[in-house]
Structure 1
Amino acid sequence: MNKIEQNSSISTKKSGNFDFSEAFKLKVRRVQCKNYEGVVVHVQKKIIHGLLVLAIPFSLAACSSPSNVATTEKPKEETKSSAPPHWSYEGDTGPAKWGSLDPSFASCANGTEQSPIDIELSKVKLDKTIQELKIDYKPTVFTLMNNGHTIQLNDPTGSNFLTIDGKKYKLLQMHFHKPSENQINGQSFDMEGHLVHQSEDGQLAVLGFLIKVGKENSQLADAWSKLPKDKTKEDVKLDKPIDLANLLPQDKKAYFYSGSLTTPPCSEGVKWNVLNTPIEMSAEQVNAFAAIFPNNSRPVQPLKDRSIFTNYIS
């Protein structure tokens, strides 16, 4: 799930049942603050008191308008204090080190419901009470950005929705990982896309779709012709709409599990839905992404006490 990333500070509300990548509205005196992969954040009420005390001053400094900043504060010091911790996919700032880079990243090391996972089919449980995913997507002209960790397409319309068990989630953005983050029976795919949604109460839901090399994907052709090689300061507007309904596979069999963001701060409470059938992209399209992000996937995490469900009856 990979902010689903303009900054990397998302916190999610814990969910009983189930994201992807990588997130709720952070409210400090009703001021919205940092976001990650384009997702607004929430402070969880269950945050340890000590951490909450630290988080509030930080968010106030990050969100204060010039009129609210004391004249004795130095702009450079304020910028430094509000800068998100640097993380990457390799070396001393890679996935194995995320949990030690910043206290807000602690879940990356200590979380109990982390994503991605290996979906072992022998462990998947059938639950006929789970309603089919209700996907209400319209052809949409997205804006395109390189946020330094992935290629992300932002939805400026607010008109695309995913309904899970009667609860409605609005699409915020779509981004990609290479190779796939979630696996099926230990198999990685060439890439994976994450459609990141958020409900009115701030809960995240991610619809993950696996990608394999095959024919050219016409729905992503316009976006792929404009891939920014460097981190962008402003979004690039696409010329042609993407029809998400035709981007996704016709077979909507999915696996459901409770997980987390797949990028720091690895916040949990994300509702994950991973489609079983992969879509196709050409080798040229996959290689074009790889030229910018050769490897931007977090390794699979332990399932621990979680269950994986499906409502598909074979």
Structure 2
Amino acid sequence: MKSLSRASLVLMTSLLALSLAACSGKKAEEHTPTSEQGGEHGEAHGSQPVAKWTYDGDTGPMHWGQLGGAELCGTGQRQSPVDIVGQPKMQLSHMLLNYNSVTATIQNTGKTIRVTPANGGELDLDGDKYPLKYVEFHSPSEHALNGHQSTLESQFVHVDAEGHTLIVAVLYDIGAADPMLGSLWTYLPTDPGQPMPLADLLINAQDLMPGTQDFYVYSGSLTTPPCTEAVTWMVYASPLTVSAEQADAFQRLIGPNARPLQARNARDFFRVVGTN
């Protein structure tokens, strides 16, 4: 099995065989997530401002495509999240998770909990470096594996120097408590507001991930308005666990914040195993 460069990764994740920049039809910075409060992955730089949106009611996911600036949520053909089914083709990739143990902030945006590390490191995929920008959480999980939707999903948003977005997703099922999440959850802000320092706590993204490098990979989109496409998703094949108490703490604070599953359309999934 051969190694994957960014170009080959993008080719295999789209039957259209287009590069990330070409398939978006936009400049690189136009699909770079921002840290704007209120959105899961923020609004895209240079894009039309998105009208107010929510996770329910007349401005909920079923209506996002009708909101100003979010038309792609209704018309896009490569939208996320998806149900990853079957036995995808296997590929090998040279992968290094070069994350740092650093200080960070935590924020209740009103729609999610966001943790932003200071110089959190990067994911190196066959020599292509994707710096980590922030981590966000969703309950229930946005992605599903063979029809199974987990209790919680964390999403590690990376953006490279050219503006390409890569998001690593970790699913959590109910089971033993997760110690690192337990440390984070002691700082959960009860009300929406500005980022607050995680005092006396260093964050390393790898501590919040499984110990394997086994992913399902596909080409998709941001899961909140404006639902920008040309996003590479790497979903860990092995879920972690959280306790019922940890899941309840998040759900009581934020409430349901998962976009419904989207149509697969003409897309392939791949199983990528990292090697050092």
Q: TM-score range, shorter-chain basis?
A: 0.7 to 0.9
Q: 1:98 aligns with which of 64, 74, 77?
A: 64
Residue 116 of structure 2 is aligned to residue 111 of structure 1 = no
Which AA in structure 2 matches 1:222?
S
Deviation at 1:236, TM superposition (A): 3.6
Per-residue CA shift, 1:43-81, capped at 9, x if unaligned? 4xxxxxxxx8xx5xxxxxxxxxxxxxxxxxxxxxxxxxx
Alpha-carbon distance between aligned partners in 1 of 2:260 and 2:22, rounded to the nearest angstrom: 22
TM-score, normalised relative to structure 2:
0.82
1:203 corresponds to: 164
Please give the alpha-carbon distance, in whole angstroms, between the structure 2 residues aligned to 1:280 and 1:120. Answer: 21
Report Cα offsets for 1:136-155 as digits up to 9, x if no partner: 11222220001111000012
* RMSD of aligned alpha carbons: 2.7
Unaligned runs of 5+ in 1: 1-12, 28-32, 44-51, 56-81
CA deviations on 1:83-122 (whole Å, 9 max, x unpaired) are x5211111111100000011x1011000011000000024
CA radius of gyration, larger in: 1
CA distance in structure 2 between the aligned counterparts of 1:296 and 1:302, rounded to whole angstroms: 19
Cα offset, 1:297, TM superposition: 0.2
Amino acid at match of 2:58: D
| CA drift at 1:238 | 3.5
CA gap of 1:280–1:24, structure 2 versus 1, over 3 A, is: farther
d(CA) in 1 for partners of 2:41, 2:80: 19
Q: Within 2, Cα distance between the matches of 1:297 and 1:247? A: 20
Could you say which structure has the higher strand fraction? Answer: 2
**CA distance in structure 2 between the aligned counterparts of 1:288 and 1:196, rounded to whole angstroms:** 23
- One of 128, 136, 155 as aligned partner of 1:194: 155
1:154 — aligned with what? 116
Whether contact under 8 Å (1:14, 1:268) holds in the other structure is no
* Aligned residue type for 1:91: G
Alignment-mate amino acid for residue 141 of structure 1: T
Mean Cα deviation higher: 135-144 or 89-98: 135-144
Distance change in 2, residues 1:312/1:26 (3 Å)? closer
8 A contact 2:105–2:196 mirrored in 1: yes
Aligned-pair identity in percent equals: 33
Letter in 1 for 2:76: G
Distance 1:98 1:309, change over 3 A: same
Higher alpha-carbon deviation: 134-143 or 238-247:
238-247
Aligned partner of 1:125 in structure 2 is 89
Aligned residues: 250
2:73 match: secondary structure: helix
Q: Tell me, what secondary structure is at the counterpart of 1:114?
A: coil
